[in-house]
Structure 1
Amino acid sequence: MSPRVAPPPWLAHALRAQRGPVPWSAVTRGALAAGPLLLASVVLHHTSLGVIAAIAAMLAGINDRPGSRRAAVRRLGAPAVAGAAGLLAGTYGGAHLTALPLTLLLTVLGLVAGATSAVGPVASGAGTQFLVAAAVGAGMPVPEAGWQRALAFLAGAGWLLALRLALPTPGALAGDYRFDGERHAVAAVYDAVADLLTAVGTETALERRGALTAALDHAQDALTGPRLRRHASSAAERRLHAQYAAALPLAEAATALAWAEERISARAAEGPRRLATAVRDGRGGGPLPAPSRSAPALRALDDALLRAAEAFDRAGEGGHRPPVRRRGPKEVLRAALGSGGREYGLRVALCFGAAAGLAQALHHARWYGEHQHWYWLPATAVFLVKPDLGPLASRVLCRAAGTVLGALVFAALAAVLPRPAGLVALVAVCGAVLPVATRHFAAQTAAATVLVLALVMAGGEPQASVGRIGETLLACAIVLVVGHLPMAGKRGGGVRARLAAAGRAAHAYLGHVLGESADRGERWALRREAYRTLAEARTAIALAAAELPSLARHSEGTDAVAAVLERLVDTTTACAVHLDETGHLTARHIRHLEDLAARLEHGGRRLGLRVPRMPAAA
């Protein structure tokens, strides 16, 4: 038999789709968002504003991911506000500037929004919506004033956010359904602790520890945000915060046991598993099986289980918010103005500005014919340049394929659907499909293409499938060219910036542990920050490695440094637990710390990273 030939990483990424159950609650919200907004505008004879509101609801639906309602306020609200601001800026820029000044304005906006996007996921969503809305405001022929467009945009996104806050999740009507996302997130942490304890001493332990980090990150995000109800739900909120805080020492002890690589009894995982069930059912922890206390980490696990049982039995009498280390203004500026922010901001500015300039030139070229939707070109380029949607070649391929498929499907449907009722129904169907389609960029593009083309036709314009395909292919070419242009400084700035941030977080965590501070809350916050920044670096490295070889080579060696950092943070956690139980470190702990610090310094120097010098282990 001939050996099986594996596809290149960029193509494998393009063929890969996320798996999971159908998010029926998000499907319901999608069906009730853009379609009804468009229908209401048609009935009230304000179709153009309804189109803008439906676009805002569509963009909010793309950001409508699983999680808690409190987290959705920031995840959906911040991009919506940014989008309204972009729409306002684009509208007045398009009304008062000629082609060249307008192109320069959009280029500058792209530079600022691109650099800001490097701060984090919410900032990335806000930057994207700001630029997309700016392009729409500058180019969409709508009679209403800029402030009316901005209000319509906010209304559309606000409508979807209101649905997110008000509608119950199917199967979550028991108790206060407003906290179902938080309950599931906290329960997943206890399940992840149990999975890690089961995997201790096996080859899957490192993977399980990574899953525990992801569960802790998700729960932290789920519990972070505004209170949904200030008085009536305070006990439920305190209980969830206490349950999450009780999981932190459990996660710490489980990580220390995984670091020791010694098999433990299956009994150790039974307690966290029962606590996960208790969180989901909203009841007390009940009796928990005690693990053996034969080693310091096992004693720490037993003590953590006892404290967790007490926290569950108090049922929300106490429970302050768990310690979270928030990024200060200096760190936000460092992310935006650092090498990663500068590189991404410059590429966004070049793509957005070049697309806007080319679109303006075609718009005013007599030989090109009628070109009413020139804003499609820069708006498409904004999505294509986003690295969190996948490697460059992968997302370009998916975008092109999805647009062609969506345009062909719409062309066939537009020939038979009645107007406007058929178009309204098609928008509602596409809105319901989007939450499922977001699992693959090509599917998401196809659904969004049908929805946008339906909105354009509902606004009174002719069928525009061919133009949509042409704009997308031009945007793909622009992003491919700009993505391979050499930039000032070293390529791969985004990956190196995230790796440097992970190094600083690991340094702060190790310094706190070796300083033997008694503030466990601060230690747990530093530990969470170290693992979170490391996970972000790992994600960026994986995406960079899946690029075309000409781009992937710029991130070579970063994965090895990330692996050393990961081992260093695990070792620091093991040191923290051992110090708590014995008051001193073993020769094994010291040897590992010194070896990892030396390897990290060597790897950072080879990559040109400013990795802080690790404190002495003894």
Structure 2
Amino acid sequence: MPRDFRRRPLPAWLAHPLRWQRLPVPWAAVARGALAAGPLLGVGIGTGHPAAGVLAALGAMLAGVNDRPGTRRNGIVHIGLPALAGTAGVLLGGTAATVAAGWWAIPVIFVVGLVSGAVSVVGPVCSTAGMQLLVAVIIGMGMPLPGPAWFKALCFLGGAGWLLLLRLVLRPPGTLDGGRATLATVFDALADALAAVGTPGAVPARRRLTAALDRAEEAMRLHRLFRRLLTPGDRLLIERYAAATALCEAAVALLWEARPLPPRVSDGPRRLATAIRTHSPAGPLPAPGASTAARAAFDRALLDAAVVFARTTPEHSAADLPSAPARSRVRWRVLGAAGREYALRVALCVAASASVALALRANHWYWLPATAAFLVKPDMGPLFSRVVNRFVGTAVGVLVFAGLAAAFGGGWWPAVAAAAGGALVPVATRHFALQTAVVTVLVLSFVSVGGDTQAAGNRLADTVIACGIVLLIGHLPRLVDPAARAGLRVGTALRCTERYLDHILTVSASERSGERMALRRAAYRALAEARATADTAAAELGRTVDWVPVVAAAERIVDAATACAVRIEHGAPRPSEREAREVTGVLTALAATLDGTGGPTVQEFITAPECETLADVVAELRRIRAAAA
């Protein structure tokens, strides 16, 4: 075999989710997983109510999948909202099973699939909630467990609530509060970005900084939702977050200038990160060395941050803090092209899977549509590789469960297996196939306690059928178009970019700085979503458009716009009204072209802008226009 052939990497459509994510082991989540599903299943076995134990353990398992690092308030939202959706799904499914059994389940599942898919485009938490709603309806209708629907729903909610209680109560000694840890990560990422200024690693460092700011913004947003309950420490943390956003804006301008900085410049953010982690003073910060507008802005923001960190009590009361930024255009997302496309795809996949399952085995049909519901989610990677990972993981899980059943027979071993699987769930999230294998062992343990002792072989066959159905429907022409989804996300990001740039060019730099920061964060957040969608679309089979360069150009536009804001704030002349109108008009037209909503035709630029940053914006717009053509 030739050497160059051996070195050839796997194709993107196969390798995308096979990448192992190197993350620290969340030992606290491992402990919570071990104390959740297994003990609940054991209680059900010991008290003679296995059905209650199965549903409670199932609720705890799904809550454990959502048990991610973050603040306690994050945990309440990320675990609690999907748990409520799953509870409603069990109640709806159990009720529907009593009045619309058999083939009547298909229209019910189709309608719920439409709702689940449409809601899933709003954001990650809503995506998880929509998924749990759909899966819970399928389980409530198909899993043969005794008891009324309200009792099943309460058991499911109790299991999820038990894990959430463990999340809120059990905290390892010496663990840093989630909000402080998230903010400290922002300053670490800021220091890394400053160290990378003027090097090839500047762009990846800026993206890591943006991702850290996104996580911190989510944590602070949840803090502001409970403004009346904030402690002085919470309010001080929000003020330090505001100082971090100002520093990050200046850092983006430094990255745009691309002039290497002295190593001492990155020492300031690292000292601030240490101060957050240790509750200690920040100590001496680097002396200013203003040589450019961006450096002057950074030095001033660092001085302001030093003043904030020197305080031990917050300057503002809870009533004076800004309210949580609203997530606008939610209705537009749900009812827009992306929501309709995803809703129809989910509904068709689960309805077709349910039809095949009812034709094959009417008593245990729930596994096939539930598998299709998980497979159809695009945020787990490209479709073909999702299918490969799902099949491999299910096969491994079935073999492990069969080995355990042969070795131990009956008794309490399913509860022990559920406890071990619950402990492995937080670690298994690093790899889709591994997560599938762990969840397969868990679910087979549940259904064996519920009385289905011959489930393993049938479940593997059901998985193969579900994979085939999702592959078929997922590649139907005029129904599923990854490029269209990516174009919609890129168009949305360009609209956010246009609003940010328009604010910079039309509003005085000293006015409404808080609104400018919010618009900048909205633009970067939309670009992060667009990049994730573009990466997935680039790895799909039969892709026709490469959206990754378009997203990269849009990111550079926001970087240049940030540098423009900093330069204007420090005395640079403001671009003319004609130039501002021309540039923002082209952005709007490009967004309409990419997301297919229609709008003005993209026109040529009449003259080159005199502003250096605006000239960079125009250059990137020309690149985007060439790609769109």
Aligned-residue offset at 1:188: 0.8
- Take 1:323 and 1:293, find their aligned partners in 2: how far apart are those partners? 34
Match of 2:56 in 1: 53
- Contact 1:254-1:301 at 8 Å conserved across structures: yes
Match of 1:204 in 2: 201
1:447–1:281 distance in 2 versus 1, CA, 3 Å: same
1:27–1:572 distance in 2 versus 1, CA, 3 Å: same
Match of 1:574 in 2: 563
Match of 1:348 in 2: 346
- Contact 1:403-1:445 at 8 Å conserved across structures: yes
- Take 1:527 and 1:564, find their aligned partners in 2: how far apart are those partners? 16
- Take 1:292 and 1:381, find their aligned partners in 2: how far apart are those partners? 59
Aligned-residue offset at 1:236: 1.5
Give runs of aligned pairs for residues 347-426 of structure 1, distance below 5 A: 347-364=345-362, 372-417=363-408, 419-426=410-417
TM normalised by structure 2 equals 0.90
- Contact 2:224-2:324 at 8 Å conserved across structures: no
Aligned-residue offset at 1:45: 2.1
- Contact 2:70-2:178 at 8 Å conserved across structures: yes
- Take 1:183 and 1:611, find their aligned partners in 2: how far apart are those partners? 45
1:152-192 CA-to-partner distances (Å, cap 9, x unmatched) read 111111111111111114541xxxx5xx1111110011111
Give runs of aligned pairs for residues 85-104 of structure 1, distance below 5 A: 85-104=88-107
Match of 2:325 in 1: 325
- Take 1:558 and 1:596, find their aligned partners in 2: how far apart are those partners? 21
* 1:20 corresponds to which of 20, 23, 28: 23
1:348-368 CA-to-partner distances (Å, cap 9, x unmatched) read 00001111111112234xxxx
- Answer yes or no: is 1:152 the counterpart of 2:152: no
* 1:519 corresponds to which of 497, 506, 512: 512
- Contact 2:417-2:442 at 8 Å conserved across structures: yes
- Contact 2:239-2:308 at 8 Å conserved across structures: yes
1:525–1:493 distance in 2 versus 1, CA, 3 Å: same
1:460-496 CA-to-partner distances (Å, cap 9, x unmatched) read 3314210110111111011000100123596633222
1:144–1:301 distance in 2 versus 1, CA, 3 Å: same
| 3-state DSSP of counterpart to 2:285 | coil
- Answer yes or no: is 1:544 the counterpart of 2:544: no
Match of 1:190 in 2: 187
- Contact 1:183-1:279 at 8 Å conserved across structures: yes
1:27–1:322 distance in 2 versus 1, CA, 3 Å: farther
- Contact 1:571-1:593 at 8 Å conserved across structures: no
* 1:565 corresponds to which of 554, 575, 584: 554
1:594–1:266 distance in 2 versus 1, CA, 3 Å: farther
* 2:428 corresponds to which of 413, 425, 437: 437
Q: Which stretch shows the higher mean deviation, 102-111 or 232-241?
A: 232-241
Give runs of aligned pairs for residues 59-458 of structure 1, distance below 5 A: 59-169=62-172, 171-172=174-175, 180-225=177-222, 234-319=231-316, 321=321, 325-328=325-328, 331-364=329-362, 372-417=363-408, 419-458=410-449
- Take 2:302 and 2:293, find their aligned partners in 1: how far apart are those partners? 14
- Take 1:402 and 1:593, find their aligned partners in 2: how far apart are those partners? 54
- Take 1:441 and 1:496, find their aligned partners in 2: how far apart are those partners? 26
1:610–1:473 distance in 2 versus 1, CA, 3 Å: same
| 3-state DSSP of counterpart to 2:408 | coil
- Take 2:244 and 2:536, find their aligned partners in 1: how far apart are those partners? 31
1:558–1:610 distance in 2 versus 1, CA, 3 Å: farther
1:228-277 CA-to-partner distances (Å, cap 9, x unmatched) read 99899601111211111110110000000111111222221111110011
- Contact 1:568-1:596 at 8 Å conserved across structures: no
* 2:468 corresponds to which of 459, 477, 501: 477
Q: Which stretch shows the higher mean deviation, 467-476 or 259-268?
A: 259-268
- Take 1:25 and 1:336, find their aligned partners in 2: how far apart are those partners? 35
1:446–1:187 distance in 2 versus 1, CA, 3 Å: same
- Contact 1:564-1:600 at 8 Å conserved across structures: no
1:170–1:448 distance in 2 versus 1, CA, 3 Å: farther
- Take 2:72 and 2:378, find their aligned partners in 1: how far apart are those partners? 27
- Contact 2:182-2:215 at 8 Å conserved across structures: yes
- Contact 1:60-1:76 at 8 Å conserved across structures: yes
- Take 1:315 and 1:49, find their aligned partners in 2: how far apart are those partners? 50
Aligned length: 598
- Contact 2:224-2:322 at 8 Å conserved across structures: no
1:603–1:41 distance in 2 versus 1, CA, 3 Å: closer
- Take 2:9 and 2:583, find their aligned partners in 1: how far apart are those partners? 36
1:226–1:317 distance in 2 versus 1, CA, 3 Å: closer
Aligned CA RMSD, in angstroms, stands at 2.7
1:271–1:322 distance in 2 versus 1, CA, 3 Å: farther
1:273-298 CA-to-partner distances (Å, cap 9, x unmatched) read 10011111122323211231111111
| 3-state DSSP of counterpart to 1:22 | coil
| 3-state DSSP of counterpart to 2:36 | helix
- Contact 1:500-1:609 at 8 Å conserved across structures: no
Q: Which runs of 5+ in 2 are unaligned?
A: 615-629
Aligned-residue offset at 1:428: 0.2
- Contact 2:95-2:149 at 8 Å conserved across structures: yes
Q: Which runs of 5+ in 1 are unaligned?
A: 365-371
Aligned-partner residue type, residue 457 of structure 2: V
1:340–1:603 distance in 2 versus 1, CA, 3 Å: closer
Match of 1:529 in 2: 522
Aligned-residue offset at 1:601: 5.0
Match of 2:13 in 1: 10
- Contact 2:143-2:364 at 8 Å conserved across structures: yes
- Contact 1:114-1:349 at 8 Å conserved across structures: yes
Aligned-partner residue type, residue 578 of structure 1: R
1:9-65 CA-to-partner distances (Å, cap 9, x unmatched) read 022224311112211111001001101111222222221011011111111111111
- Take 1:433 and 1:357, find their aligned partners in 2: how far apart are those partners? 33
Q: Which stretch shows the higher mean deviation, 210-219 or 158-167?
A: 158-167
- Contact 1:343-1:493 at 8 Å conserved across structures: no
Match of 1:31 in 2: 34
Runs of 4+ deviating beyond 6 Å: 227-233, 590-597, 611-618
